Structure 1
Amino acid sequence: MNFTQSFRLAVKSLLTSKMRALLTMLGIIIGVAAVIIITSLGNGMQNYMNRQFEQLGANLIQVQLWGLGGGMSSRTVDPDDMYELVDKYPQYLSGVSPYVMTQGLVRHGSDEYEHTSIYGVSEFFYDADRGQTLSGGSLGEGRFLSYIDVDRYQNVCVIGSYLARDAFGGDALGQTLTIKGTPFTVIGVMSEYADSTEGSGDDVIYIPYGSAMRLNGTGWVDLYLFNSADNDTSNVAKGLIESRLYQTFQTEDAYFVMSSAEMMDAMDSMLNTLMMILILIAAISLLVGGIGIMNIMLVSVTERTREIGIRKSLGAKGRDIRSQFIIEAGTTSAIGGIIGIGLGIVMANVLTNVIAFALGTGNDGFVAVPTLGGIAVSFGVSVGVGILFGYLPANKAARLNPIDALRYD
């Protein structure tokens, strides 16, 4: 009996008891669908995060200083030190912006905004050539902070689209709001970045970092954003920053420097590890499905004992019987794998819409991406599981004594 005949017999056997066949495939279907969904969501999240990092620019370098003003070290660096470093190495560093986060009640008239994020930055935070801030936002109206604004601690601000719409009805330029009781004049409005809701990425205010320091009542900055001159000099620029900070603090424990490329690699590594763990968990369903196939094939061998005896008495060899049952087990798992792949792709598309809606990114944001490689591996594993767990029943069938099989009732 050749492969084609064995395959036809396998399909005929499955069609004879459709419900039993479906229940037998259920573990394989769930396992394959879970693997497809996990890999699709993982690839989609990886692509989404990479696009976010690309918006920031591959030459962005973040510098975090630990314990300034908290007693960790009497040595400090200030914005002038960082500006001096940029001026000293213009071939490696193109600019720096202090990044001061502050909190406080924002008011406009009788309206209060408690969840607005307030950031103190320099004029370099906005790159006019790229038309973007270092955080990936773009300017919609007016202008961004200038050198004069920052140098003179002027009380001006650039606000997000949420405040522009909710507080000023879309006409914000030249208007005034207060932060911790201090009035600030709106000189610019950012384009919509998130979903223009309270507390979102559009509920922000950018002010000169010196003004933010005054609002905080502190005399230091613990976070800086540098830009290397280009992508190729990013590692050299990072080394120069680390060398400068070590000269001041004499310990590497006082600061942390990371480039956007390193951030991207770290996030990819974490996501890949998480995906692998979830895939291994999903593989348990494939194991359960394989056990289910083995059980049902053992039952099938018992039910078809007389058929096996008749075939052997007519000249069928043990390897023919073995191959028939192995092909039947493989066919069962292959069909389950195909159904699981289809279910996984459908669910991945459904989850794409759900997650994109939750993130407020629309069609250009998060997209779950089923890969051909993932589909092929899932299908191959499902068939392999069927063959592996089908071998024991097939071997049992092949070893049946034809006389005993014919006498079986």
Structure 2
Amino acid sequence: MNLREAFAIAMSSLRVNGLRSALTTLGIIIGVAAVIVLVGLGDGIKAGFNTQFGALGNQINVSQITGTVPGGGEAKDLKDSDVTALRNTSVAPDIASVTPVVSGSEMVTANQQQFRAAIQGSTADYLTVVDRDVVIGAMFTAEQARSNARVVLLGPNAVATLFGGDAGAALGTTVRIGRSNFQVIGVLKSNGQSDDAAVMPLGAARAYLVGGNDTINSMIVKATSTDTVQPALAEIYQVMDDRHNIRDPASRDYNATALQSLLEQADQFLTYLTLFTVAVAAISLIVGGIGVANIMLVSVTERTREIGIRKAIGARRSAIMKQFLIESTMLSGIGGVIGIVIGIVIVVIGMIVIPKVAPTFGAPDVSLPAVAVAFVVSLLIGLIAGGYPANRAARLRPIEALRYQ
């Protein structure tokens, strides 16, 4: 029996038992589709994460330690002079910019409603540095920052409480923050992390809300590129240690954290999470393989007399084994193809729907390697699952097979 005849016999057997074959392939279909969908979703999440936070890869946050430093004593304040020192390119050539930030918490009042906002006082480049956009309005100018203008950009949570979520209604109105009036010149776009913020000029925040003549709470340092983050971090340590009289690194009274390392850890976590979910989905492939093996054993039992007749007229063991291996492989292969089609359809639907309902999530993408691996695994499952039944059929003795009722 040649290969073409074996395929024809296998197809005939699958058609005769169509419902049984369909139910048998269901586990393979679900497993393959689940693997493709989960890999696509995982790639989408990673793409969305990189899009949302990738621009922060060269950012280093410097903040003061609150309370007692590890080596004992009180932590020195971060000051404007620290910002000036880090901006000196002769001692810190790998630092592109340094943005000071003062922060606090104040009650914002408007329309007889109140909201406690997280005050962020900074320079005119603050939104650019933290990679944040506005829904309506604009960031305050450098001139407004120099003149300590009482202007503010509100986060979406504040707008939702004070203006019912209407950004247009908020723009241009006057709100009371603490004991001072500020004009709303913009509404921040949601980033899911600091939506309670109220962003204003550094001088205005100091003069009217948080106090302090030259002290700051933190600095946002940008390295010249993602490749120079570590040299920039070393320069921060060198400059700040010298200014704060730090002799032992373990006794530093400030923290300098490179977001690049945090982003790499988060990306690695997302990769492991994707692999874990794919492994869980692959369990259904194993279940499907068990189903294929079970049905092939049933098929061998049902066709015992047929096997005996074929062996009696000269069919060799290899021909019998080939027939059943082809049948099991075709069974799982067809399930794999159907699963691939279903998985791709679901991913394509996700590519259309997810950006509309969850823009920051990241649209899933069809992973060709995942498709190829899922299909190859489905074929391997067919070979493995059909191996024992095929061998059992090939080892049947013609006399015993012909006597089988």
Query: 1:318 is matched with which residue?
Result: 317
Counterpart of 1:227 in structure 2: which amino acid? K
CA contact (8 A) 1:26 1:289 kept: yes
- Seen in structure 2, the aligned counterparts of structure 1 residues 69 and 211 have a Cα distance that, compared at 3 Å, is farther
TM-score, normalization by structure 2: 0.84
What per-residue deviation string (whole Å, max 9, x for no partner) do you get for residues 214-263 of structure 1?
74578965542111234443332122113344554533575554444434
Deviation at 1:203, TM superposition (A): 6.2
Counterpart CA distance in 1 for 2:150 and 2:183 is 6
Residue 104, structure 1, aligned to residue 106, structure 2: yes
Is 1:85 matched up with 2:59? no
Contact 2:78–2:218 (CA under 8 A) maintained in structure 1? no
Could you say which residue in structure 1 is the equivalent of 2:133? 137
Return the match for 2:404 from 379, 392, 408. 408
Opposite residue 235 of structure 2, the aligned amino acid is L
Check if 1:236 corresponds to 2:236.
Answer: no
1:68 to 53, 66, 72: 66
Query: For 1:141 and 1:155, how far apart are their aligned partners in 2?
Result: 15
Q: Tell me the SS of whatever aligns to 2:175.
A: strand
The amino acid across from 1:345 in the alignment is I
- Work out whether residues 142 and 173 of structure 1, in 8 Å CA contact, stay in contact via their aligned partners in 2: no
C-alpha displacement of 1:372: 0.8
**Residues of 2 paired with 1:253 and 1:345: CA distance?**
55
Equivalent runs, 1:282-361 vs 2, <5 Å: 282-352=281-351, 355-360=354-359
TM-score, scaled to structure 1: 0.83
Deviation at 1:15, TM superposition (A): 1.7
Q: What does 1:130-279 correspond to in 2, within 5 Å?
A: 132-137=128-133, 140-146=136-142, 149=145, 153-160=148-155, 163=159, 170=168, 175-186=173-184, 188-190=185-187, 193-194=189-190, 204-209=197-202, 212=205, 215=209, 221-247=216-242, 248=244, 249=246, 250-252=248-250, 256-279=255-278
CA drift at 1:172: 5.5
391, 395, 401: which one pairs with 2:391? 395
Judge conservation of contact 1:306–1:405 (CA < 8 Å) in 2: yes
Structure 1: distance between partners of 2:331 and 2:63: 57
Check whether the contact 2:134–2:186 (CA below 8 A) recurs between aligned residues: no
Partner of 2:41: 41
Q: Which amino acid aligns with 2:153?
A: V
Q: Secondary structure at the match of 2:265?
A: helix
Kindly tell me the number of residue pairs found equivalent between the two proteins. Answer: 392
For structure 1, the residue ranges without an aligned partner over 5 or more in a row are 127-131
**Separation in 2, partners of 1:168, 1:377:** 49
Deviation at 1:293, TM superposition (A): 0.8
Residue 386 (structure 2) pairs with residue 384 (structure 1): no
Q: CA deviation at 1:271?
A: 0.8
Instruction: State, as a whole percentage, how many aligned pairs show the same letter.
Output: 34
Deviation, 1:117, is: 4.9
Q: Deviations over 1:178-202 (max 9, x none)?
A: 223432233x325x7349xxx8876
Equivalent residue runs for 1:42-57 within 5 Å = 42-54=42-54, 56-57=55-56
Tell me the SS of whatever aligns to 2:219: strand
8 Å CA contact 2:97, 2:222 repeated in 1: yes
| 2:136/2:168 contact within 8 Å kept | no
- Per-residue CA distance 1:292-335 (angstroms, 9 max, x = gap): 11111111100011111111112111111111111111111111
Distance 2:33 2:165 in 1: 47
- Does the aligned pair in 2 maintain the 1:111–1:167 contact within 8 Å? no
> One-letter code of the match for 2:125?
F
Question: Which amino acid letter does the alignment assign opposite residue 189 of structure 1?
Answer: G
How far 1:353 moved relative to its partner?
5.2
C-alpha distance in structure 2 between counterparts of 1:124 and 1:268, whole Å: 28
Name stretches of at least 5 consecutive residues in structure 2 with no aligned partner: none
Does structure 2 conserve the Cα–Cα contact (< 8 Å) formed by 1:160 and 1:203?
yes
Q: Which residue of 2 aligns with 1:129?
A: none
